[in-house]
Structure 1
Amino acid sequence: MVNGRNEADRTLGAQQSQEGQQSTQVRKAAFASAIGTTIEWYDFFLYNTAAALIFPHLFFPESSAYAGAIESFATYAVGFAARPVGAAIFGYWGDRIGRKATLIVTLLAMGLASALVGVLPGASTIGIAAPLILVLLRLVQGIAIGGEWSGSVLLTMEWGNQRKRGLLGSFAQIGVPVGLVLGTGGMTLLSALLSPDAFNSWGWRVPFLASLILVVVGLIIRLQILETPMFAAVVAENRISRAPVMEAVRHHWREILLSAGLRFSEQMPFYLFTSYVLVYVVAQHHYSKTFVLNAVLIAAVLELFTIPWFSHLSDRLGRKRVYLTGAVLTGVLAFPYFAVLKDGGYVAIFIAVVVSMIPHAMQYGPQAALISENFPTHLRYGGAGLGYQLASVFAGGPAPLLATWLLAVTGTPFSIAGYIVLSAVVTVICGWLIKDRSRSDISAEATYARTA
């Protein structure tokens, strides 16, 4: 009897120890996911802000204000075009050698590229080489971001409680508003403290160079994380695909395309609301840079709370229900939003910029789980990454560029509002067609038997 009791105690102790270890790893994975994407998006949003406020006159000084904005946003779009390439490259390795090692490489690539932007001379110093090098560094940024997202999402989703996948996946998404707060906040602080000449000449470079400090912090954290149990099981069962990206495209092309379309009303308006708005409100209506940056900053702080909340809600109500509500609201608010930007005063514009991020959070929070759940474990890094990043080519990247062109051609910001409504229609259709696997066991191959 005593031996049996001792054996039961040892079994219980081992079980509690295992659960404690897993709980620790989940916390570490969540933190590593959030800090990694924070660093990645901090760098990316620094570029976005600089593309709107600094790069036109620094790298394209001979161009008119309109042409300079177009050229600057064209380099901005290049980074988005590179994202699917990054998703394919790092998706291959993420599904071959694991999530952890791949994420370390993406972090280093993004941080080093951003630091180099911070020391890049302008066109007045090295001529045409300046914008060419800028484009090259932007390509590296885009490739790194393309490989970062799915790995960060899977790091938490594949470690934690499967009934909380929406909430766990949102830790990677939280990196976006945190990165936006740090990146835009840094620019806002420096633009407020420095004279316009000092900010335009060297002040904008400081946040880019600070990327190196953040990269060191991120590496220390990511090196402490173990590989996810789901991927470890794939390795143990010898189910690693020799060509995971090609297999994902061949067997899950429908999910990849629907995932891309799903993002239209989330990604395209987001980059208008956080980047193009800087050009429109400052250049067209002559509000101060600091005023607009502060509004974007407050909107990002709001998302720190709304993204996890709506993600948690998706665990209870289902991904698609929460997501499609956000898509519909995005379309409904498009025309009122630009009406306020066009004719509203300081208070109205400030409120419009902040409120515009609520429907974005309703989509962006549950999005990580909604997309990733549609791919089996051995193809999930590449498949989810391709679906997620493919939208960048058609939605996020061209958005500020097309908005600048639409305003110039039509003379009214309501043409941009119509563009947003169209994106919402695309999302609603794709959201209706994609499968909601909120309640499915994503570790089981049988879950994906229909397309496997």
Structure 2
Amino acid sequence: MVLGDNDVTHTAATAESSAGRRVQVRRAALASAIGTTIEWYDFFLYNTAAALVFPHLFFPASSSYAGAMQSFATYAVGFAARPIGAAIFGHWGDRIGRKATLIVTLLLMGISSGVVGLLPGTATLGFAAPLILVLLRLVQGIAIGGEWSGSVLLAMEWGDQRKRGLLASFAQVGVPVGLVLGTGGMTLLSATLSPAAFDSWGWRLPFLASLVLVGVGLVIRLKILETPMFTAAVSAKRTSRTPVLDAVRHHWREILLSAGLRFSEQMPFYLFTSYVLIYVVERDEFGKTFVLNAVLVGAALELAMIPWFSQLSDRFGRKRVYLTGAVLTGLLAFPYFAVLTNGGHVAVFVVAVLAFVPHALQYGPQAALIGESFPTHLRYGGAGLGYQLASVFAGGPAPLIATWLLHETGTPYSISVYIVLAAVITVLCVLGLPDRSRADIDDASVYRRP
């Protein structure tokens, strides 16, 4: 589906009408937030199940350590697939438009998650069960890889450029909302069902519910128009035949720096939301419901912080706010594991919640910081590649590496060193990326064009 003359005219007329533009900005922001909420709801469901259910359901013959490693390995597969999704959907997002591409990613994610909810364990299907699980995780990763940049651009390219940080953050809000819904669903079921019922069928219900959410998301996304920035690029015949290749060729530096600046945001986040479920529960006095509740409260707190910190980035600049979050992440690394290892219930709960604050400082302004580093006709692919490449090296392997580090060193402070290293990488990459917080991203002169 390529934009036709009627589509271009309709979008242009709406963009020029102040009332029509306000309606579309609201719709774009809502579609961005709800779409990413559904995508991340599905993704976090898998993360939680990978820590609590999948080891004994799909790897029953393994030891506790080996089962956790195998389960987190399937978890990491989804992250490895993200750059592939960014390349595939980045190509079409910069060729045919943001709207059509985002409808496909939403369908892919919802259907694959629904199938996970129906998938029998190894006891029923044998070796085929974990193989199918890995395949479904690959599909999830590809869908997420194509979702993020399109959702960001949908709101950012429709809205007031002076509020790009705030508007782009609507896509980021999907992460804590998805985490609250996904983890909240698991928490509720874990608390109300017997362990046997939860492990047998209770964990499947939130996965199946994603099919209903996808229907809601589709209705909303079908009502929005293509962004005026992309429509203008189509009208001026500035689209590229090979946008992803052109983005790599002409903006490789921005792609690599965008990936690097995510290290202290993404890697600790998956330790704070997934690995913590295993680490704390191994202390006999803590149950999985207690840890899930802490993660749930932290995500709810972040839901309020992301728009606030994003708005601050519009006022004070993206890099200043982002660097504050990166430094705080490094400073938190050792106290975090000290409390998780030795603290009582109150201390563990508080530190598990507070860990979300430095993440929000980075994740809020991040969408605009990355998105505004690329020109319109290469923005979907360029921003998507930069954002998703970090998944291969930072987010995906994090629980796996943390599990291995603790096993090999016998001390959780080896994981703290790992977090500090990520923070150093982020600081260097943010310093190397130009701050375009106040640049006109619809003006071709601010970019070096192919």
Asked if TM exceeds 0.5, the reply is: yes
Counterpart residue number, 1:10: none
- State the Cα RMSD in Å: 1.1
Q: Which residue of structure 1 lines up, in the alignment, with residue 79 of structure 2?
A: 80
User: Is residue 294 from structure 1 mapped to residue 280 from structure 2 by the alignment?
Assistant: no
Helix, strand or coil: the match of 2:26?
A: helix
Are 1:127 and 2:126 counterparts? Answer: yes
Distance 1:340 1:33, change over 3 A: same
Distance 1:153 1:16, change over 3 A: closer
SS in structure 2 at match of 1:210 = helix
Deviation (angstroms), 1:284: 4.1
> 2:272·2:352 contact (CA, 8 Å) conserved in 1?
yes
Separation in 1 of the partners of 2:332 and 2:278?
A: 20
Residues 416-427 of structure 1 aligned to structure 2 (within 5 Å): 416-427=415-426
C-alpha distance after superposition, 1:282-312 (max 9, x if no partner) = 1245510100000000000001110000000
**Residue number in structure 1 paired with 2:183:** 184
1:118-267 alignment runs, 5 A limit: 118-267=117-266
Q: Is residue 165–residue 365 contact of structure 2 (8 Å, CA) maintained in 1?
A: yes
Decide whether aligned partners of structure 1 residues 146 and 16 sit closer, same or farther in structure 2, where only a CA change above 3 A counts: closer
Between stretches 41-50 and 280-289, larger displacement belongs to: 280-289
Note if 1:47 corresponds to 2:46.
yes
- CA-to-aligned-CA distance 1:396-447 (integer Å, 9 cap, x gap): 0000000000000011100000000000000000010011100100001101
User: Does residue 1:322 correspond to 2:327, yes or no?
Assistant: no
Q: Which string of whole-angstrom CA distances, capped at 9 and with x for unpartnered residues, describes residues 57-107 of structure 1?
A: 000000000000000000000000000000000000000000000000000
Equivalent position of 1:335 in the other structure: 334
Question: Partner residue of 1:4?
Answer: none
Report the equivalent of 1:432.
431
Q: Percent identity?
A: 77
Q: Does 1:390 align with 2:410?
A: no
- Secondary structure of the 1:275 match is helix
Q: Which residue of 2 aligns with 1:3?
A: none
Determine if contact 2:14/2:20 at 8 Å carries over to the other structure.
Answer: no
Match of 2:349? 350
Which digits, 9 at most, give the CA deviation of each residue in 1:25-69, with x for residues without a partner? 000000000000000000000000000000000000000000000
**Residue 26 of structure 1 aligns with which residue?**
25
* Higher CA-based Rg: 1
Aligned equivalent of 2:59: 60
Question: 2: distance between equivalents of 1:218 and 1:81?
Answer: 26
Residues 325-349 of structure 1, C-alpha deviation per residue, up to 9 Å, x if partnerless?
1000000010000000000000000
The offset of 1:230, in angstroms, is 0.1
User: What's the TM-score once normalised by structure 1's chain length?
Assistant: 0.96
Deviation at 1:215, TM superposition (A): 0.2
How far 1:231 moved relative to its partner? 0.1
Distance between the aligned counterparts of 1:16 and 1:281, measured in 2? Answer: 51
What secondary structure, in the 3-state scheme, does the structure 2 residue paired with 1:181 have?
A: helix
AA in 1 matched with 2:239:
I
Q: Secondary structure at the match of 2:238?
A: coil
For 2:304 and 2:195, how far apart are their aligned partners in 1? 34
Alignment partner of 2:241: what SS?
A: coil
Q: Could you tell me how far apart the structure 1 residues matched to 2:182 and 2:14 are?
A: 43
**Aligned-partner Cα distance in 1 for 2:228–2:15:** 17
What's the TM-score once normalised by structure 2's chain length? 0.96
Instruction: Indicate conservation of the 8 Å contact 2:83/2:142, yes or no.
Output: yes
CA–CA distance in 1 between the matches of 2:366 and 2:149?
11
Alignment partners' CA distance in 1, 2:418 and 2:241: 41
SS in 2 for 1:82: helix
Distance 1:203 1:244 in 2: 44
Separation in structure 2 between the aligned mates of residue 304 and residue 359 of structure 1, nearest angstrom: 13
In the alignment, the residues of structure 2 paired with residue 86 and residue 444 of structure 1 have an alpha-carbon distance, to the nearest angstrom, of: 28
Distance, in Å, in 2 between the alignment partners of 1:52 and 1:16 is: 46
Instruction: Name stretches of at least 5 consecutive residues in structure 1 with no aligned partner.
Output: 1-13
| Matched residue type, 2:132 | I
Could you tell me how far apart the structure 1 residues matched to 2:396 and 2:14 are? 49
Paired residue secondary structure (1:435): coil
Cα distance in 2 for residues equivalent to 1:320 and 1:201? 47
Q: Distance in 1 between matches of 2:51 and 2:196?
A: 16
Runs of 4+ in structure 1 off by over 6 angstroms are 14-17
Task: Specify the code of the residue in structure 2 equivalent to 1:138.
Answer: R
1:282, 1:188 → 2: CA distance? 14
The answer to whether the 8 Å contact 2:94/2:378 transfers is: yes
Distance 1:113 1:144 in 2: 9
Task: Check 1:247–1:15 CA distance in 2 against 1; reply closer, same or farther (3 A cut).
Answer: closer
2:81·2:141 contact (CA, 8 Å) conserved in 1? Answer: yes
User: Deviations along 1:161-202, whole A, 9 cap, x unmatched?
Assistant: 000000000000000000000000000000011000000000
